[in-house]
Chains A and B, each alone.
Chain A
Amino acid sequence: MLTLSGRRSFRDFDWVLALIAILIVFFGTWQIHNAQPEETYWQKQLFGLGIALVFMLIVSFMDYRKLVDLAPAFYLFGLALLVIVLIPGIGMKINGQRAWIKLPGLGQFQPSEFVKIPTVLMLARFFGPHRNGPLSIKEMLVGGGILGLPIGLILLEPDAGQAITYFPLLGVVIFLSSVRMRLVVAAALLSIIMIPAAYMLGVKTGKIKNYQQERINVILDPENADRRGFGYHTWQSIVTVGKGGVMGTRASSEFSQSKLKFLPEPHTDFIFAVTAESTGFVGCILLLLAYAVLLSRLITGARRAPDRTGMLVIMAIVGGLAFQIFINVGMTLGMMPVIGVPLPLMSAGLSSVLATFIAIGFAISIQLRRFVN
């Protein structure tokens, strides 16, 4: 029995999924090196990958259903971490955000990255059971509550960028839990109308400050925005991307935008701009394709999930990753305002890599159990 299940596990393990993820991290590590050749970020990233692979394997060979059963405990533990990080002396303040906990020897880790996992498990546990009929208001409110607690705590750090990445988790779960289509359409329409309307109203009444307007202006018209002030990041990012051209500059010895410090945060939030500069259109499209394959692979896994709970876990992960990719790359390409969201698997940062691989571990675990019923 042990040998049989072991052999089957080995055969059914989603190697392709893991391999794509690992390749993206290697590609990212190369870009981190391009961005900061004199720093040790790229070595730390490889070290992080090693740890992350161990965690991925552990999670993937565990039964996800047992973990979902334990979700409330994880969730409470996660919330506790989010509270602890707020305590001065324990939580480290970087760029005005108290979002990191210092671990002696390991560097620092960011609870808000990890709490996504228990939040996903908690949502899956709540919305997982077999359903008959559409979602009730009460259920949606509970879902909102599960999401609201960590978001609220994260906003206290304050880290709006991380907080935003939580929303798609609930969105996907609700969408796949037979929320009435007309509600979805209504919400979509409402936001299309309301967001510009609210913006205009905010500008008129002065509720939206000048610098906030500038951030929007720079997206609408980067050429004429304040390129030295609030538009600086976006403008420099666009220039860096455009400069890459078809094949990119490749040579890292050259005076790149990041090396000359025109591009801010090149190894984290703007890693995609570095990629665009050094590998050009070809490299960027390959990377986007790799993400597309990774996400398709996960969606395929979700289709094969043995139960609704597993499907929801994977799809929430898909939603979260896709959203982060779009927000981050969109920001780099000057289509989105500047929000501090890392690019999954690419940006330097132990927490992000580790959290992403744990999520992938869950997806693998769920697939491994597809024949077990």
Chain B
Amino acid sequence: MKFEDDSQNLRVRMRVLQILIVLLISVLGVRLYVLQMMKGSYYAERAENQRIRLLPIPAPRGVIFDRNGKILVDSRPIYNVILSREDVKNLDLNQFIEPFSTGLDIDPEYLRERLEQIKTQPAFESVRIKENASSADQAWVEAHQLEYPQLRVEAQPQRRYLENGTLAHVLGYVGEISPEQLEQPRYKEKGYKPGDIIGREGLEAVYDHYLRGRDGYRKVVVDSRGRIQDVIEEVEPQPGQDISTTIDLDLQLVAEEQLRNSPKQRGVIIAMDPNNGEVMVMASYPTFDPNLFSQRITSKEGRAEYNELVRDPKTPLINRAIQGIYPPGSTWKIPMAVAGLRQGAITLENSNLVCGGGITIGNKFTRCMGNHGTPDIRYAIMKSCDGYFYRLGLKMGIDGIMKMVDDFDINKRTGVDLPHEIVSQTPNLFKPMMERRGQAWKDIDTVYSSFGQVYDFATPIAMLRAVAGIGVGGRLSVPHLLKEARAVSEVGPFAARPAQRFDRPDPKIVPIPQDEHDAVVKGMWSVVNDAGTAARIRMAGFDIAGKTGTAQVVGLGKDTGENKDHAWFVSFAPAYKPEISAIALIENSGFGGVHAAPAVRAVYDAYYRKTRNEEPPGAVQVAQNKKTTSGGAGGSPPQATDRRQGE
């Protein structure tokens, strides 16, 4: 100290200041030690997390073809608006609802749900807030990049289905995986993540594991605004496996046209190869547009459209082929006839039973539509004689009928490769149920069970399988739609996926002796090719064996308008060497021979043209709505041959 100032403790005070400075700098040093030495790797990771982002590259989903290689479903690129989660982690998401819903035209309720979801997601995931963004939407995102750096536009393949709802029930549709599905282990294990597109219905759902590709990704560096600065790593996606189905699109379109033109525009047509179970046609009407689910469901209009579908009393979302159960009416008589012979209730030598114009059980008379004397089995089938089958049923007994049901698997699912198939309801279900309630099973109940009413409700697919199986001598194949899932070669980290075929279970064998088989087929042949109930659809040179059915919906006398009978026709052709088996159910239209048989005939015509390369014999005369056309060939269809029984 160059000057004297000791009286003021100046030295001490300067020393105090110096110590204070050293202390403060030491505090900074300690803090640095904590941040850099102790927690350095933690912060390095945090820095990494905010600058590295994984952007998924969605894999194209497999294309679905028909049996001839025609495209049934494919994908095309669309643009989605994505909100990345990392950028909004600590923001109040509700502030986005107003500007996004107006700017991008999204339903605010839907947006609220989406933003709710984002909270439960792990880091690096993003949420799709608008699908199929228009160019105006893309421009909006672009223009608001500074305001909402969390938004980006991403290309994604989108499913494109056929127009007019063709094959909608078979193909199903895709949708975003639901939070509930994500919770389930079977989805978790397969590596599904939020936002993934998954098959929700139909073949899309059943064969999702084939159709689904493996998403690739780009690992990118982004700046604080989310703009991509560099691509560190890129993994190409592996496309999903293409699928060939057993469907024949040409036949399918014919069948759909038949249903569209039916009186109530409701019904089912199925056609399959009876030899192996390959389903060529599966049409259910009314139908819906699956593109709604893949393209429009996020828009307000799309959601309204969906709600309307769900509420529609005509249940367009239901696949009637496997989810509709109907009284099979007289089509029931075919397995009954086979079982009657097998069980010895009747014999080939003496198959005659009295018609009697009906039957009286106790004090109750159940009538037949005509009086057929004492017909044999062929004639009874041809004329669909109820009286004959009342008595056959009584001779077989309810146990015999139940054995028949069991033999032909009518009380089980067919095992078709579609979701939500339901089980037919038969005496095998109702009898034990009644007995549990203490109700006795009476003879009249056996009579009812013997002609496909009251206690008999079957799905069209189950009826077709039983009759088609009879057509090929008692081999009941499992109906299915998958022909082949094609192989996909190895891509980057994703292993090659081999071709897959339908894992076909052995057909169920119901032994039918040749002569018994011939007798029943003869009856079915006569239905179309003799003076039978479907003589109007006869095709010379292409012998159809079939059986009409007219199933009552309500009591006799009230069966008009919406409550008209269901019209059935089940068949195979050619009769003695079946290649194709077809069934039609036209809801609330009237006689099976008038409404269902011509619909099946139209399918056979198309099939004939394709396989024989010539015009089918006996030009097509199809029942157009209620207009009855006379058959071009053979037999004269008397009015109301199939009309029958009261309660």
Contacts and interface: CB of A to CB of B under 8 A. Distances in A.
Given A245-B36, A330-B28, A333-B31, A306 B2 contact: yes
Contact of B3 (A284, A306, A315): A306
A350 B449 CA distance: 103
A299 to B, nearest CB: 5
Nearest to A178: B8
A199 interface: no
Contacts of B44: 242-243, 245
Given A241-B43, A276-B32, A281-B32, A176 B21 contact: no
Interface string B23-57: 01101110111011101111110110011000000
A241 B32 contact: yes
B17 A172 contact: yes
B224 A243 contact: no
Contacts of A262: 47, 50-51, 223-224
The 4 closest A-B pairs by CB, nearest first: A242-B43, A178-B8, A245-B40, A260-B223
Contact of B29 (A280, A288, A335): A288
A11 interface: no
Given A288-B28, A295-B21, A333-B32, 14 more contacts: A176-B13, A239-B47, A240-B47, A243-B43, A243-B46, A245-B37, A259-B223, A276-B36, A281-B33, A281-B36, A306-B3, A322-B21, A333-B28, A333-B31
Interface residues of B, number: 46
Interface string A106-146: 00000000000000000000000011100000000000000
Contact of A284 (B10, B21, B36, B224): B36
Interface string B218-231: 00011111000110
A292 B22 CA distance: 7
Contacts of A304: 2
Given A241-B43, A260-B51, A326 B28 contact: yes
A12 interface: no
Contacts of B28: 288, 326, 329-330, 333
Given A261-B225, A288-B29, A303-B1, A228 B35 contact: no
Interface of A: 130-132, 172, 175-178, 226-229, 238-246, 255, 257, 259-262, 276, 280-281, 284-285, 288, 291-292, 295-296, 299, 302-308, 311, 315, 318-319, 322, 325-326, 329-330, 333-335, 370
A370 B2 contact: yes
Nearest to A300: B18
A308 to B, nearest CB: 6
Interface string B445-487: 0000000000000000000000000000000000000000000
Q: What DSSP secondary structure best describes chain A's contact surface?
A: helix
B286 to A, nearest CB: 51
B146 interface: no
Contacts of B31: 330, 333, 335
A128 to B, nearest CB: 11
A246 B43 CA distance: 12
A6 B31 CA distance: 46
A280 B35 CA distance: 10
A292 B8 CA distance: 26
A231 to B, nearest CB: 9
B89 interface: yes
Given A176-B14, A322-B21, A281 B37 contact: yes
B199 to A, nearest CB: 38
21 contacts: A130-B5, A175-B17, A176-B13, A178-B8, A228-B89, A239-B50, A241-B32, A241-B35, A242-B42, A245-B36, A245-B37, A255-B51, A257-B47, A259-B223, A260-B229, A280-B36, A288-B25, A291-B25, A306-B3, A311-B3, A315-B14
B31 to A, nearest CB: 5
Contacts of A255: 51, 221, 229-230
B8 A318 contact: no
Contacts of B89: 228
Nearest to A276: B36
Residue of B3, B21, B229 contacting most chain A CB atoms (<10 Å) = B21
A241 B14 contact: no
Residue of B24, B36, B42 contacting most chain A CB atoms (<10 Å) = B36
A296 B15 CA distance: 11
Contacts of A229: 90
A239 B224 contact: no
B7 interface: yes
Contact of A132 (B7, B47, B221): B7
Nearest to A227: B90
Contacts of A291: 25
Contacts of B224: 260-262
B143 interface: no
B136 interface: no
A245 B36 CA distance: 4
A305 B2 CA distance: 6
B14 A242 contact: no
Contacts of A246: 36-37, 40
B83 to A, nearest CB: 14
A241 B36 contact: yes
Given A241-B43, A260-B223, A260-B224, A299 B17 contact: yes
Contacts of B24: 322, 326
A291 B229 CA distance: 37
Contacts of A239: 43, 46-47, 50
